[in-house]
Amino acid sequence: MVGARQVGNQGRVVAFEPSPGLIEFLSYHKRLNRLCQVDIVPKAVSNHDEAATPFYLVGDGNSFMNTLAGTDITEISPEDKSVIEVQAVTLDRYSRESGLIPHLIKIDTEGSELWVCEGARQLLAQHHPELIIATHPTWLPKDQTIGDLFDLLNDLGYRIVDSVISRYKDTDFGDYLCIAD
């Protein structure tokens, strides 16, 4: 809603959300606030296009901890987790098919931040949108590190211009503003 207000009626905000409960929540607020400039895309964003890929829900899915990464998060009990199949799309494909070229991309995907950027290589390399990325190091797939994300962004010409780091259980969770030179 903040983004929608920033772009006004002439702009556009695209919200990707694979959780059915959160799609309903976003749709309600879109209607309530008359945000015609908001498009809700009921898909996960990843590094590959997939008709059906596992998406891990916490509780009934109305959680900020839902994830495509599927990591084993100790703070969530096994009986409070479930898996559904969702469609996945790359930002490169979405941009190509929709004709939309974003000025800003906010990534908050509970561990699949690298996958999102891998699936947006062409978009990031050609158009250099600003990035706001929330990182969740403890939720990363076992073969990834936050360093992998920053290496990819560096290769694409991006640098961190601002950050807010929060320490939780000896791990740095960060929010980063990245721009391309």
Residue recorded with tokens 């059906």 = 52
Task: Dump pLDDT digits (tens) for 69-108.
Answer: 876 666 667 777 888 999 999 999 999 999 999 999 999 9
Minimum mean pLDDT range among 1-5, 48-52, 85-89:
1-5
pLDDT at residue number 87: 98
- The alpha carbon of residue 167 and the mean position of all alpha carbons in its chain are separated, in whole angstroms, by 21
pTM of the model: 0.92
Mean model confidence pLDDT for the chain? 92
Residue 1's pLDDT is 85
Q: What pLDDT does 18 receive?
A: 96
Distance CA 19, CA 99 (A): 25
Tell me the pLDDT tens digit for each residue of 110-126. Answer: 999 999 999 999 999 99
**What's the pLDDT tens digit per position in 5-45?**
999 989 999 999 999 999 999 999 999 999 999 999 999 99
**What is the structure's pLDDT at 167?**
87
* Higher-scoring residue by pLDDT: 148, 170: 148
**The CATH number fitting domain 8-180, selected from 3.40.50.980, 3.40.50.150, 3.40.190.10, 3.40.50.300:** 3.40.50.150
